[in-house]
Amino acid sequence: MNLPNKLTVLRIFLIPVFMIFALVPFPMGSVSILGTKILVTQLIAALIFAVASVTDWLDGYLARRDHLVTNFGKFADPLADKMLVMTAFILLVQQGMAPGWVVAIIVCRELAVTGLRLILVEEDGEVLAAAWPGKIKTATQMLAIIFLYLNNVFFNNLHIPMAQILLYVCLFFTVYSGIEYFVKNKDVFKGSM
């Protein structure tokens, strides 16, 4: 197994570790960062999520740079990303830190685009590459999740709800990129309705 694929597998294994720190009420107390109180478990969960998010960028970069693109990577990398992000969003809803309707839209879009990818591979053998709006969607989703777990730490003193702003920016790019994927690939549905 090459290094990019190992990073993808690591990202998958970090999901349950992230869940443990996000959910289990370990008696670790809290810390104050820039005047913002953060539970130690939330801080650890945010750091684990951040490390997992960096592996998303790193595995793709290494696979392209070193010509190590594999079928396993094409399958597992987007799956790992969606598993990580959807898990975090669902936990944020459970913990009352994100509105359920926002997360429902994000999850539905991810499932719809995954279905579109499957149809395109079956029809044309074509792997639907992520376009820039999709990359922005992923980056803003990951940043929103980190800032939500960190209680908006770097922006509270400025009275800017950056975590919520990022959440709605990622919602916009989630919807926009989903529509863009379907509009660009509408031909796959011709004659089937």
**51 is in which domain, residue-wise?**
3-189
Is residue 129 within 8 A of residue 73, CB to CB? The reply is no
The number of domains in the chain is 1
Query: What are the φ/ψ torsions at residue 16 (nearest 5 degrees)?
Result: -65, -30
| 6-58 confidence digits (pLDDT tens) | 999 999 999 999 999 999 888 888 888 888 888 899 999 999 999 999 998 89
> Residue range 86-97: average pLDDT?
96
Position 33: which residue type? I
Please report the pLDDT score of residue 193 as a whole number. Answer: 62
Beta-bridged to residue 32, according to DSSP, are: 37
Please report the pLDDT score of residue 39 as a whole number. Answer: 86
The CATH number of the domain holding residue 8 is 1.20.120.1760
Nearest to 179 by CA among 134, 143, 139: 134
| 116-168 confidence digits (pLDDT tens) | 888 887 776 666 666 788 889 989 999 999 999 998 888 888 889 999 999 99
pTM for this prediction: 0.89
